Amino acid sequence: MKNVILFDVDGTITDPKVGITKSVQYALRHFGIIINNPDDLCTFIGPPLRQSFKDFYGFDDTSAEKAVEKYREYYLDTGIYENFLYDGMDVMLEKLKQQGKTLLTASTKPTPQVKRVLEYFHIIKYFTFISGSEFNGDRSDKKELILYALENAKINDLNDCIMIGDRKHDIIGAKKVGIDSIGVLYGYGGLDELTEAEATFIVKNVAELSELLC
């Protein structure tokens, strides 16, 4: 298939559910909003963080900024490590690298956090360039992230590129750039979301993803 493969991180390479939902729970508690079941906060996995606080809880810019600050109090010390690598992901990444594929990230997570996660799971060595957002929220749109990764990796042939992610933002970003996409059902978007976003391909698990890519 394609020789340039872009990966979302949360919900695609790793399962960050525990760390992210607990971090959001911690942030909301600062505003007197008590969420007893962290599973109710899974909608925060994938989209830009500031926008999620606005969309789901009606926060204004100032409150959203404070919420992100509180979120990071928990996430940077604890939540970032409450994370799991999807089964078979490391094996697939190694195989792709051995086949000469160029692997990139396009994640709305701030770049230093992306690097910490990939280093924690000992898989950063497979990636040519790490594209993430800025801590201030800049470059958090998927189209921007994809283009930033391709520019820094000096990739010009869009026909040779594909974006992989679990949420509609990944698929929509890929469409805006003009590249194919793969939606993964083992993440947090679901079939309806990925179908409506018009993913080029949809796979159920890492094994299917590996078969398609390799």
**Please, are residues 175 and 169 in contact by the beta-carbon 8 Å criterion?**
no
Catalytic option among 8, 166, 170, 180? 8
Alpha carbon 173 to its chain's center: 12
Q: Which amino acid is at 169?
A: H
Q: State yes or no: is 166 an active-site residue.
A: no
For residues 107 and 142, give the distance between their C-alpha atoms in angstroms, rounded to a whole number: 7
For residues 77 and 85, give the distance between their C-alpha atoms in angstroms, rounded to a whole number: 19
Residue 138: exposure state from Cβ atoms within 10 A (0-12, 13-18, ≥19):
exposed
Active site residue ranges: 8
